[in-house]
Structure 1
Amino acid sequence: MGQLIIDFSNWIWDTPMLLLLMGGGLILFVYSGFLPFRYFGHALKVVSGKYDDKNAPGQISSRQALSAAIAATVGLGNISGVAIAINMGGPGAIFWMWMSAFVGMATKYFTCSLAIMYRGVDTAGEVQGGPMYVIEEGMGKKWKPLAILFSVAGALGLLAIFQANQLTAVFRSVMLEPYNLDYGQSTKWIIGISMMIIVGIVILGGIKRIALVASRLVPFMVILYFITVIFIVFKNLGAVPAMLWLILEDAFTGNAVMGGAVGAVIILGARRAAFSNEAGIGTAPMVHGASKNNEPVREGLIAMLGPFIDTVVVCTLTALVILLTGVWESTENDGVRLTLAAFEAGIPVVGKYLLMVAVLVFALSTMFTYSYYGHKCINYLFGADKANYYNYFYLVTIVAGAVVSLEVVVSFIDGMYAVMAIPTMISTIYLAPKVKAATKDYFNRMK
């Protein structure tokens, strides 16, 4: 079964998925008139809360929506996903993560503008947003099979199994193995059950509690991680230009992957960027669609900051730490263990503990937000009265994620993300003219 999941993931992420996400994102980037570059400053003003309207429909503020979305993206995708990209595709994969992020900013702008433009109402009468509502409300009932496809893939692909797996790995490596306290599978089960209880306390309180906890945790985890990473980078500042050049050179030679296949490096970069910033996957529109905002364009501007913060800034810093310390060439570790080795080399003794705290906060905040995404998918499929049952299924799979292998977990999530991207990108490209018209109207009014 594990091999079947791996094979499916590799098949679906071949050229068609690359064309859909990066090609589709590039089309949107050009079609928007390079909007992410032109209105980046205005997006910062919007996210500061300058234009907030507390009486607008929705459940949370735009800033809380961004915090919740970043809680889901700025996390283990940055710590572990970058390590996986370098381990499998070499430094060049980072360059293609950057490219995915820039086109991803345009994709996020369109998808999250549409999430406000075409909101729906669930069976409890609550205003909801997300690709499934965009498809049904914006494209019409005949397209509903696409909305169902997205929701089914979302309910499965947005389980917290990757976070549970990597948090278990780092906790065992830092706190148990050095003291001979690790007992293999038994330890994994204990850690998994503990995570399940902690996550359950938060997610059973609904989106308002999730958004509140995320908006408190996100600034803390980003500051902690930034300080630690920047310290290691400054220690090796002289080597930074060489590492950046290595990323650029390897991106077009593919020297670090078998056979020098540049295409393989591009696919790896795109896969890891999709997991890291989720642009085009359709997760962020679900939380941005719940924000108190009547202006679709403003919500899109706020959302487009996500891929920049997540991939261009945080992923680059993580990549530099791994490359500067040289651990990517000197160890067989993968995933979070590779990043852990880099932190240990960069800040002996304390580095691994700082990373463990960051991983703990990153993983838990992502687990909180993902539960909301999956809950919304089930809400759409079966109604608001049945959606709460999903939370219990979600909590049980946290334990499963703690005990299965990393390769199977990554492949399963990658495969479901690819399936989610198909309806999201089709609906976004189909409805892009509506967003362009709204953009023109908004900036004319702003003048």
Structure 2
Amino acid sequence: MEKIDNFISEMASLVWGLPLLMLLIGGGLYLIIRIKFLPFRYLGHAIAVLRGKYDNESDAGEITHFQALMTALSSTVGMGNIAGVAVAIAIGGPGAVFWMWVSAVIGMSTKFFTATLAILYRGKDSEGKIQGGPMYFITEGLGKKWMPLAVFFSIAGLVGALPVFNVNQLTQAINDILLKPAGLYNGFQTDLIIGLVLAAITAIVILGGLSRISKTASRMVPGMVILYFILVLVILVIHIDVVPKYLGMIFTDAFSANFYKGDTFLGGVVGGIILLGIRRGAFSNEAGIGTAPMAHGAAKTNEPIREGLVAMLGPAIDTLIICTLTALAILVTGVWQSSDANGVSLTASAFEESIPYYGKYGLLLCIITFSISSLFSYSYYGSKCMSFLFGAKNKGIYNYFYIISILIGATTSLSMMINLIDTFFAMMAIPTMTATIILAPKVIKEAKIYFKKLKRLN
């Protein structure tokens, strides 16, 4: 098992090297500059679209703008925000948060382009149903000769969409917060029971298809985001005297990397902390990876730019708001220096330190909701990849592999899970970003037409 763990770790380090960093961040910067920050001027309009002002039942698609964003957020708002941020701070210190922010701002632009393309170049599956996502905008936008790139994305998506990291960290949270203090933890046997319960809950929802997934996500996600915000606000009020200090450290340590404990990159610790922050930021908001466009591609709209604007809100909510809340809770309580815990256990320590007894249970409720909602949406992404590769009639087969992987995630090590998903996330980003950069002029042309029309209407 140790040899497999080491191999997966080396593989993750290899794919998350300079070429991928340049593709995600360099590509995202290129997209921002090419469109001259234009979508950022229409965030108010994006909120109006999200609220349903422009919904039209006769438009093509399956779900509303709101449901599309909630489905996308249900996969991104999860352990990446709670455990991923903790991992970043445990290794990189406060400065890692700054580079997560950079990743988010660039990611907003990337999401605008990828979600717009998901509507602009929707294709049809083998049953003739309209579908969206990187595999379709590659083949519809670039042509059939680019099919190998679409196939590569879909194969990577079969593994990248597996829920092993979320399940692993949810199992750890339930054990650390609930079962171990009560003396009910019994090692592998307990982990397996948790895995079986999660598999059963997931099966009930995902076997009902996208409609049930999106409706469940749109009910679960908003309430838990508000609860999480309130809990962290309480922690920040308790430690208000040190909040300015740590906000300042996020900026200063980003360029000094005084607390960085990981491997160097490009010959230095600053390079290492940049890579760490970008990597965890990408894992959190998935901008450029290609999962969210599969949800946004199902939105009921005939205006691609509208869905691009709605998708932009994802990284803002996910990374700029929720990840920052987690980071500040960990930093102001001091647990990042006083505790040896990592991942979700470190975040739990921060909540326990400030809100004894109730804090950790409130966090556990948020973790369970975020994680279970993630389990639902990732199954949809994986089944879409399965449908593209093997035909729509076979997409249901993926759900059974998916349910089995929940048991694996509940009973294996954290490092292996992080590195496995990181590796395949990186592989998904290569075709997504390559196609997005090539098709960027099409999005820019569409955006100029839409925003001119919008000005005339106003």
- Quickly name the TM-score band, shorter chain normalised: over 0.9
Partner of 1:371: 379
Alignment of 1:172 with 2:172, yes or no, is: no
Answer whether contact 1:67 1:215 (CA < 8 A) is retained.
Answer: yes
Corresponding residue number in structure 2 for 1:145: 148
Q: State the partner residue of 2:311.
A: 303
1-structure distance, mates of 2:299, 2:324: 29
Instruction: Look up the equivalent residue of 2:336 and give its one-letter code.
Output: W
AA aligned to 2:129 is E
Q: Which of 17, 27, 35 lines up with 2:20 in the alignment?
A: 17
- Counterpart among 280, 283, 302 of residue 272 in structure 1: 280
2:85 counterpart (82, 85, 89): 82
State which drifts further: 422-431 or 45-54: 45-54
2:30 maps to a residue whose letter is I
Q: Is the 8 A contact 1:133 1:147 kept in 2?
A: yes
Give the distance between the partners of 1:329 and 1:105, measured in 2 at CA.
32
What amino acid does structure 1 have at the position aligned with 2:197?
S
Asked if 1:225 corresponds to 2:228, the answer is: yes
After superposition, the C-alpha distances for 1:332-378 in whole angstroms (9 at most, x for unaligned) are 10100000000001211111111111100000000000000000000
Question: 1-side partners of 2:112 and 2:269: how far apart?
Answer: 32
Q: Can you give the 5+ residue segments of structure 2 that lack an aligned partner in the other structure?
A: none
> Alpha-carbon deviations, 1:58-114, whole Å to 9, x = none?
111111000111111111111111001101111111000000100100000000000
Paired with 2:199 and 2:67, the residues of 1 have a C-alpha distance of: 24
Deviates more, 1:406-415 or 1:221-230: 221-230
For residues 174 and 9 of structure 1, the distance between their equivalents in structure 2, rounded to whole angstroms, comes to 30
| Equivalence map 1:26-425=2 (5 Å) | 26-258=29-261, 261-425=269-433
Once residues 311 and 429 of structure 1 are traced to their aligned partners in structure 2, the CA distance between those partners, rounded to angstroms, is 23
* Amino acid across the alignment from 2:6: Q
Q: In 2, Cα distance between the equivalents of 1:192 and 1:443?
A: 48
Counterpart contact for 1:36–1:105, Cα < 8 Å:
no
Cα displacement (A) at 1:313: 0.7
Q: Distance in 2 between matches of 1:385 and 1:97?
A: 40
Q: How many equivalent pairs are there?
A: 447
Higher mean C-alpha displacement, 130-139 vs 234-243: 234-243
8 Å Cα contact 1:32/1:106 also seen in 2: no
Q: Hey, what's the Cα distance between the residues in 1 that align with 2:401 and 2:207?
A: 12
Provide closer, same or farther for how the CA distance between residues 123 and 389 of structure 1 changes in structure 2, counting only shifts above 3 A.
same
| Higher mean C-alpha deviation, range 424-433 or range 179-188 | 179-188
Cα distance in structure 2, aligned partners of 1:154 and 1:276: 16
The gaps in structure 1 that reach 5 residues or longer are: none
Deviates more, 1:173-182 or 1:302-311: 173-182
Give, in angstroms, the shift of residue 243 of structure 1: 0.4
* Alpha-carbon distance in structure 2 between the residues aligned to 1:255 and 1:82: 18
When the two structures are superposed, what TM-score results if normalisation uses the length of structure 2? 0.96
RMSD: 0.9
CA displacement at 1:36 relative to structure 2: 4.1
Q: After the TM superposition, list the runs of 4 or more consecutive aligned residues in structure 1 that deviate by more than 2 angstroms.
A: none
User: Aligned AA for 1:316?
Assistant: T
Aligned counterparts of 1:39 and 1:5: Cα–Cα separation in 2: 42
Cα distance in structure 2, aligned partners of 1:238 and 1:17: 40
SS at match of 1:153: helix
TM-score, normalised with respect to structure 1: 0.99
SS at match of 2:256: coil
Structure 2 counterpart of 1:204, one-letter code: L
How far has the Cα of 1:241 moved from its partner? 1.1
